[in-house]
Copies of this chain bind each other. A is one copy, B any other.
Amino acid sequence: MSKKVLIIEDNDDIREGTAEVLDLAGYKTFTAKHGKIGVDLALKYLPDVILCDIMMPELDGYGVLYLINKNPQTANIPFIFITAKTERADMRKGMEMGADDYLTKPFDDLELFKAIESRFKKKQQSKTIGASAGSVEAILAELKAKGKLRPVSPKQIIYLEDDEPTHLYYLVKGQVKTYKRFKDGRELSSGLFHDGDFFGYESLCNGVPYAENAATLAASEIIQIPKIDFLEYLLSHQAVSKTFISLLSENVHDKGKQMLQLAYSSVRKRVAEALLQVAEKFGGTESDACTIKISRDDLAALVGTASETISRMLADFKDEELIDKTGNAINILSMSKLRNVKQ
């Protein structure tokens, strides 16, 4: 059966021209002259690859990509941007959002074929489940190889509450938080992640929509692994099951601890704990002192309190010479003393 290609592009000449070329090459093509139609067609025909312009009326390319990624049925379709814009910024934005490739107009037919074919080749490759009976690391590495690496800038949202999970995430490098939003808009951080952490697996594991949001705190590199690949590995490799059962158990353990604190510890104690948690996750050195950079709002979300209160507590800690502040950053002078904060 011939591969299906969806072309979303507002310029009639380019759209029809490209379609014609691809038809001749044996692909089955669908065309849409703006984003909205494009998304409808994608859902209807589930193409094998999507080519999409960025600047379009109705719904631009970024919007199309967002919607495509949000829907589990279409989330794993390779997505290639076509655009006249050659600027770096746009290219980066597109790749950050999870596009697989980029074609800059004008492109010749060879470029087009190569871009599309290399998508298929990559997909093909990742279809096979390796038989590496080796170490956990080897199998997890294999799993990671199924995903695509994506640079993400700070304060970018990775997924949102109630979205259908489509990927497992692995943080190669950077800082990510997961958080829940209370009705009135206040946030509570439920997890912090740094280099080498997996996240976003709970919802995948029992097939429900996300119960939390995830966003980067700092510039990061994230591998996103398609849901089906993850589930396949989860159920066919003991090592993978074992890893994620451990992760989940740890998660339960940590959340239980945090719950007890939330219920009965004073804000003062909880702020101290939060500082230590951030320091352990993101702080560099192994020594008793450490410098962390985090906004008051993020700290407040971690503690479950108002940001004003955080300011006051930090002022108190500074008076007591537990911490110091240089600009926005917080220097923890003694982790051990901070750990001993009572009440």
Contacts and interface: CB of A to CB of B under 8 A. Distances in A.
A264 B211 contact: no
Contacts of A263: 182, 186, 188, 262, 304-305
Interface in A179-204: 180, 182, 184, 186, 188, 190, 202-203
Given A205-B249, A241-B245, 20 more contacts: A182-B263, A188-B260, A188-B263, A203-B249, A203-B253, A205-B245, A205-B248, A206-B245, A206-B246, A206-B253, A211-B257, A212-B256, A235-B242, A241-B241, A245-B245, A248-B248, A248-B249, A255-B259, A259-B304, A264-B304
26 contacts: A182-B260, A182-B264, A182-B265, A184-B264, A188-B259, A188-B264, A202-B249, A202-B252, A203-B249, A206-B245, A206-B246, A206-B249, A208-B253, A211-B253, A211-B256, A211-B257, A235-B238, A235-B241, A235-B242, A241-B245, A245-B248, A248-B248, A251-B252, A255-B256, A258-B259, A259-B304
Interface of A: 180, 182, 184, 186, 188, 190, 202-203, 205-206, 208, 211-212, 234-236, 238, 241-242, 244-246, 248-253, 255-260, 262-265, 304-305
Nearest to A234: B245
A257 B255 CA distance: 10
A250 B241 CA distance: 16
